Amino acid sequence: MAVIEKALLIGGGIGGLVAARALRQRGIAVDLIEREPRWTVYGVGIIQPNNALRALDRVGLAQRCLEQGGAFGGWRIHDANGNVLLDPPGDNSAAPHLPSNNGITRPRLHDILIRGAEEVGTDIRLGTTAISFRDDGSGVDVTFSDGSVRRYDLVVGYDGVFSETRRMLFGDTYKPRFNGQGVWRYNFERTEDVDTGQVYFGPETKVGLVPMSPTLMYMFIVTAEADSRWYDGPTAAEEMRSRLNGYAGPIARLSQLITDPAGVVYRPMMNHLVDDPWYRGRILLAGDAAHSTTPHLAQGAAMAIEDAVLLGELLGGAESLDAALAEFMRRRFSRVKYVVDTCDQLVEWELEEWRGVHNPDADQGGLLHRATHALMAEY
């Protein structure tokens, strides 16, 4: 029997929706609130490495993602002209019955996760936030933005990188910081040569092509940016194309097709890590609310999903809520810190290289390879 009866999940993003399913599968009643009045998910894609697929498989969602996505093996590495430098196999040692990677559009993933939460009986309320918490040690009374009050055994803040739940628990101690890079993304019809994930190293940027279905793919460009401003106006396509100067071959050809400013999705890169423990009393942070990182290992959502699935397992099997939360931190903190620190290191080396600084210790390829393999270990 589960150690709690009723939980509130704050945030209907990737992590919150997977957590809803994971907790419901353990017999826990789940309310999920989402701030937006309707589901709004931007249109580009996301990479699900093998360890993310393993976690999704444990709640019965991996096959649905594979059916709606574009599975692929490893990452083929190129120079800026399109010459192949390396073509290593992918790593699927976490779940050998599943592919190394799956690319999927974010709207399709969200549809799968919403259905996955609804079909097991999650009570979802859109356009709702939590205004205040009163934790008396045996439960939490939550006042909602519609004025209603409900009591829960556990509250989980899955409300993203700018989490209000985090601010309510820890004040401004953990503000995400801009790390000097931005990521630009754009969807294309999938071309025949994109039969696996592809990365192109330019002199001052890095470009990737990610399959998302048999007919769709997206491009990402990782760039050095002076500040954390957002680009989403009428000049966004022009700005994105200008980041591709210096590439020839396939990337230069695709660059000509970046014409719709509304299709450009840009994000300045932020990261933060809340110290252990991520909870106060009966209120826990998880996913991007507790830890955000750059996409260098494609592990942000993967970590949010692992948080969710493990939380369900522990609440379903531990001796007490205290024991479940302590074990959760024991198994999550060092793993997530490893991801955040590794991404920080990769960012630092990339920025040095793009500035023309020679660092004899820099070994992006080696670190990426080791980290990808390390994350296949059990979480």
Ligand X SMILES: Cc1cc2nc3c(=O)[nH]c(=O)nc-3n(C[C@H](O)[C@H](O)[C@H](O)COP(=O)(O)OP(=O)(O)OC[C@H]3O[C@@H](n4cnc5c(N)ncnc54)[C@H](O)[C@@H]3O)c2cc1C
Q: What is the DSSP string of 161-227?
A: TT-HHHHHHHTTSS--EEEEEEEEEEEEEPPTT-SSEEEEE-SSEEEEEEE-SSSEEEEEEEEE-SS
Q: Which residue lies nearer to ligand X by CB, 172 or 319?
A: 172
CB of 159 to ligand X, least distance (A): 4
| Exposed e or buried b per residue across 195-229, where buried means at least 16 C-beta atoms within 10 angstroms of its C-beta | ebbbbbbbebbbbbbbbbbeebbbbbbbbebeeee
Q: Which residue lies nearer to ligand X by CB, 69 or 316?
A: 69
> Alpha helix locations (H) across 221-320?
236-242, 249-255, 300-317
CB of 340 to ligand X, least distance (A): 11
CB of 303 to ligand X, least distance (A): 7
CB of 157 to ligand X, least distance (A): 8
CB of 260 to ligand X, least distance (A): 18
CB of 137 to ligand X, least distance (A): 24
Q: Which residue lies nearer to ligand X by CB, 16 or 211?
A: 16
- For 180, list phi and psi in degrees, rounded to 5: 95, 0
- For 225, list phi and psi in degrees, rounded to 5: -130, 145
User: Closest by alpha carbon to 279, among 267, 268, 290?
Assistant: 290
- Give the C-alpha separation, 146 to 39, whole Å: 19
- Give the C-alpha separation, 104 to 197, whole Å: 12
Q: Which residue lies nearer to ligand X by CB, 15 or 90?
A: 15
Which residues are within 8 A (CB) of 4 and not within 5 positions of it... i.e. 6 or more apart? 28, 153, 154, 315, 321
Q: What is the DSSP string of 1-37?
A: --S-SEEEEE--SHHHHHHHHHHHTTT-EEEEEESSS
Name the residue whose CB lies closest to ligand X: 13
Q: Which residue lies nearer to ligand X by CB, 53 or 77?
A: 53
Peptide bond into 176 cis (omega under 30): no
Axis-axis angle for helices 300-317, 14-24 (nearest 10) = 20
Q: Which residue lies nearer to ligand X by CB, 4 or 303?
A: 303
Q: Quick one: tokens of 71?
A: 């599975």
CB of 31 to ligand X, least distance (A): 12
Rg (CA), the chain: 21
Q: Quick one: tokens of 220?
A: 């990402």
User: Are 214 and 235 spatial neighbours (Cβ–Cβ below 8 Å)?
Assistant: no
CB of 358 to ligand X, least distance (A): 28
Q: Which residue lies nearer to ligand X by CB, 12 or 180?
A: 12
Q: Which residue lies nearer to ligand X by CB, 77 or 265?
A: 265
- Give the C-alpha separation, 104 to 71, whole Å: 8
- Give the C-alpha separation, 99 to 77, whole Å: 19
Q: Which residue lies nearer to ligand X by CB, 237 or 289?
A: 289
CB of 20 to ligand X, least distance (A): 11
Q: Quick one: tokens of 107?
A: 């709207």
Residues in contact with ligand X by the rule CB under 6 A: 10-16, 33-36, 46-47, 52, 129, 158-160, 164, 183, 267, 287-288, 295, 298-302, 304
Q: Which residue lies nearer to ligand X by CB, 117 or 304?
A: 304
CB of 356 to ligand X, least distance (A): 25
